Structures are given as structure tokens and as C-alpha cells.
């Protein structure tokens, strides 16, 4: 089974900061990597798909990169509404189709 | 409006059964693969099941043999039959639509399932 590991598990940052979250797959997943944002009590929201494609309506301060086993989500200039939990998700394996990372909680410093 | 609305959650005893429903609207339901994803309180997201447009189904080992996903395209509805429920199945259950490179672009608000005596 493909395992997804995010780092860090939590992060404190200030409005205006540049933030990077990392996701590592236990084996190559090509570019089948997606990023979601979740706020308390709400459903997850798709931010980035296929490693680097920005979902329609998502601000351009969000970007994704990587391929193979190592991926990053970058927020170029944190806004107050960006404080949330972020999850990566692989969609490469057909035997364990949709593994999620454990999440990264982004908090206000 | 394009949306998914889950229902059917509630309190059930260990070993019991529950059937969740997800009503889709605003899009051609039959054209999309559909999934269930769950989240225990304070925990991360866990993929639970998937069904393709042709009715092919997929499950992780944690629920295989206990959960059954199905769909009724004529009613724009997705279902999750959950049997032999355990305390560890307690979670909010979301239905979600999959597109393109297999990413979830549309989610419901979720329905809470509590397994407790």
C-alpha cells in the first residue's frame, strides 16, 4: 500500500508569510497528487490537482509542485482565511486508491 | 445548484447496521465515479469506498466485507450500506465526486455516524 507522509504536522505562521508544506509518497505516484484545505466543521475543499494544477476559483497564492515521491504545497503570502488544515491525497494506486496524508494544521502565530 | 447532500447517519450499537444516502443534484450523476470518505473527530481523512460509472467497486481493507457502496442513477443517489459496525467506524461520512486525474472536486457536508452502546 502507498503511504503518504506530510510534514510538518503543525505549523505556526503570520499573515503575509510564505509557507511550504511537504508530502512524501512511499513509492512513485507520478503526478497523481492532490491538495485539500479543510476548515473546522466544513468539508474539504480542493486546492491543487495533478500536483500543480490550480482548481478553478482558488487564489493564485496557492501553488503545488513535485512529481514521483516528493511534493510541496506553497502559500506565497498567507491570508487570514488560509489558517486551516491541509491534506495531500494520492490517486495513483488502484489497490488503495485514495490514500490521504495525515494533515498539516496551519495556525496563526 | 451543483451539490451533494448526505443523510442517514445516527447512533447505532456495535455490531449493528446503517445505510447512508447521498443525493446528487445539478450535474449528470451517472457520468461520475463517486466515493465515500470519513473523518473521525479530530482525526484525518480516510477513504472508505468508491464506485465507478460501470458499477465497479473498491474498498480499503479496513471496511472490505463489511461496507457496500452502490448507486441508483435514476434517482441520482449514492449509498453506503454499513454492517458489523465497530466503535472505530464512528466518524463524519462525506460523499464526494471524482473527476479528471482522480481528485475530489465536489463534497457533501457530511453525516455523522456514532457507534456506541
Omega before A8 cis (within 30°)?
A: yes
Question: What 8-state DSSP symbol labels residue A82?
Answer: G
- Which residues in chain B are closer than 8 Å to A105, comparing Cβ atoms? none
Q: Which residues face B77 on adjacent strands? A: B23, B72
Given pLDDT bands bounded at 50, 70 and 90, which one contains residue B102? confident
Contact A31 B101 (CB under 8 A): yes
Q: Which of B20, B25, B16 is nearest to B7 (CA)?
A: B20
Give the separation between CA A66 and CA A64, rounded to whole angstroms.
7
Rounded to the nearest angstrom, the minimum Cα separation between A102 and chain B is 6
pLDDT tens-digit series, residues B31-62: 999 999 999 999 999 999 999 999 999 999 99
Tell me which residue in B58, B94, B101 faces A97 most closely, judged by beta carbons. B58
Contact residues on chain A for B102, CB-CB shorter than 8 A: 32, 91, 97-98
d(CA B116, CA B4): 27
pLDDT tens track for A2-22: 899 999 999 999 999 999 999
Q: Maximum distance among all alpha carbons in chain A?
A: 41
Amino acid at each position: 500500500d502507498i503511504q503518504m507522509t506530510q510534514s510538518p504536522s503543525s505549523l505556526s505562521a503570520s499573515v503575509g508569510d510564505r509557507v511550504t508544506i511537504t508530502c512524501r509518497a512511499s513509492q512513485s505516484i507520478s503526478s497523481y497528487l492532490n491538495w485539500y484545505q479543510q476548515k473546522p466543521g466544513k468539508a474539504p475543499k480542493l486546492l491543487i490537482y495533478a500536483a500543480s494544477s490550480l482548481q478553478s476559483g482558488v487564489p493564485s497564492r496557492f501553488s503545488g509542485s513535485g512529481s514521483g515521491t516528493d511534493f510541496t504545497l506553497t502559500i506565497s503570502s498567507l491570508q487570514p482565511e488560509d489558517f486551516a488544515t491541509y491534506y495531500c491525497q494520492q490517486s495513483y494506486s488502484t489497490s488503495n486508491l485514495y490514500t490521504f496524508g495525515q494533515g498539516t494544521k496551519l495556525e496563526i502565530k | 445548484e451543483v451539490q451533494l447532500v448526505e443523510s442517514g447517519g445516527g447512533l447505532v450499537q456495535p455490531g449493528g447496521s446503517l445505510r447512508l444516502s447521498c443525493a446528487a443534484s445539478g450535474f449528470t450523476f451517472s457520468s461520475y465515479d463517486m466515493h465515500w470518505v470519513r473523518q473521525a473527530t479530530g482525526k484525518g481523512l480516510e477513504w472508505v469506498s468508491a464506485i465507478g460509472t460501470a458499477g465497479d467497486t473498491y474498498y480499503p481493507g479496513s471496511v472490505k466485507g463489511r461496507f457496500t457502496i452502490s448507486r441508483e442513477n435514476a434517482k441520482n443517489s449514492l449509498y453506503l450500506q454499513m454492517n458489523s459496525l465497530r466503535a472505530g467506524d464512528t466518524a463524519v461520512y462525506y460523499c464526494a465526486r471524482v473527476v479528471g486525474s482522480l481528485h475530489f472536486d465536489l463534497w457533501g457536508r457530511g453525516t455523522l455516524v456514532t457507534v456506541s452502546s
